[in-house]
Structure 1
Amino acid sequence: MSFHDFTMKTIDGKERSLGDFRGKVLLVVNTASECGYTPQYAGLERLHERLEGRGFSVLGFPSNDYGAQEPGSDAEIQTFCSTKFGVKFPLFSKITVKGGSKHPLYAFLTQAEPTGEVKWNFEKFLVGKDGQVIGRFPSSVDPEDPKLAEAIEKALG
């Protein structure tokens, strides 16, 4: 099983195979529009823009699981992200990332070491070119944190 085995609905309602990202290093983030960490969208977009040409992408998965901080529809989320933060990295339809009804994608991500439920919005999973989780960073780690940058650079080779 790998990250690339999943097909997800994009924020604009289209089915997309995550196999499209095979060979890329990915930063997978559960996002929310009304969270104290929401300003991280700006850093995530800068990171995406800076490294996209080297085979890197940020992927955002909105979730309303923590403090009901993502109450909007997919269309509202997309408008918020593009107008407030200029987000161009791929966003997907809102999903559940914790508990018994968590999406199978997040069941896969949270089985990687260190295992366990996603603790809050903007937790980050670093996925290698082969579709396996190679790093996990808590919400408090800024997208432009040197520890995260170092892990991404190592994965990009």
Structure 2
Amino acid sequence: MRKVIFLLSIIMFFFKTSASANYEKKIYDFSIESITGETINFKDYKNKVILVVNTASYCGFTKQYDELQELWDLYKEKGLIVLGVPSNSFNQEKSNDADVKEFCEVNFNINFPLTTITDVKGKNSHEIFKWAKENHGKSAVPKWNFHKILINKEGKIEDTFASMTKPMSKKIIKAIENIL
């Protein structure tokens, strides 16, 4: 029996994931350019809950913009920041920031913060997405558009949600309410 426990311990050590983060940096150590060219400095979001969502205009999940806006309207006064990160990493985004901004405002009345069009996966991904992968593992890497990364008030990743998980789902609402 001791041999089995010992072998299991060794096997578990080798299959340990990178999700056990040491967080040399927190989200507050980063900034990103807004869709209108200003700097979004994450240190301005200290003690807030942040939902980072990579978005795209031509995706089957684009209608999630409605629920992202609803989430923002419901929880912004309680300390939630919804941050849309338009990305062409999956070849489904418009070609420039002005067109993305107009699309979001005209079709979805978006008024939560949006970034400039940004790479969210691979070697050219923005540093916040590299940081997310380093500290939370593969589940933090967007597999498609409208992947969601929930960051707690300490500036660490609380959870991630796949594209299919709608912003107003019970799962996301519960996670946000638990950390607000």
TM-score (norm 2): 0.83
Return the offset for 1:71: 2.7
Return the offset for 1:7: 1.4
Return the offset for 1:114: 4.3
1-side partners of 2:133 and 2:109: how far apart? 29
Aligned partner (choices 85, 94, 97) of residue 71 of structure 1? 94
2:5 is aligned to none
2-side partners of 1:91 and 1:144: how far apart? 19
The answer as to 2:110 corresponding to 1:83 is no
The answer as to 2:145 corresponding to 1:109 is no
Going by fraction, where is helix more abundant, 1 or 2? 2
The answer as to 2:38 corresponding to 1:2 is no
The answer as to 2:52 corresponding to 1:28 is yes
1:40 is aligned to 64
Code of the aligned partner of 1:9: E
Contact 1:110 1:118 in 2 (8 A): no
TM-score (norm 1): 0.95
Aligned partner (choices 18, 40, 58) of residue 16 of structure 1? 40
1-side partners of 2:74 and 2:156: how far apart? 23
Return the offset for 1:83: 0.8
2:77 is aligned to 53
Return the offset for 1:113: 2.8
What is the 5 A alignment of 1:141-156? 141-156=165-180
Contact 1:25 1:128 in 2 (8 A): yes
- What are structure 2's unaligned runs of at least 5 residues? 1-24
Return the offset for 1:103: 1.1
1:9-45 superposed Cα distances (whole Å, 9 cap, x missing partner)? 1000112211111110011000000000000000000
1:123 is aligned to 147
- What are structure 1's unaligned runs of at least 5 residues? none
Code of the aligned partner of 1:111: E
The answer as to 2:121 corresponding to 1:98 is yes
**Is the radius of gyration larger for structure 1 or structure 2?**
2
Contact 1:114 1:136 in 2 (8 A): no
1:84-137 superposed Cα distances (whole Å, 9 cap, x missing partner)? 001010001111111111111110122233435310000000000111100000
What is the 5 A alignment of 1:128-143? 128-143=152-167
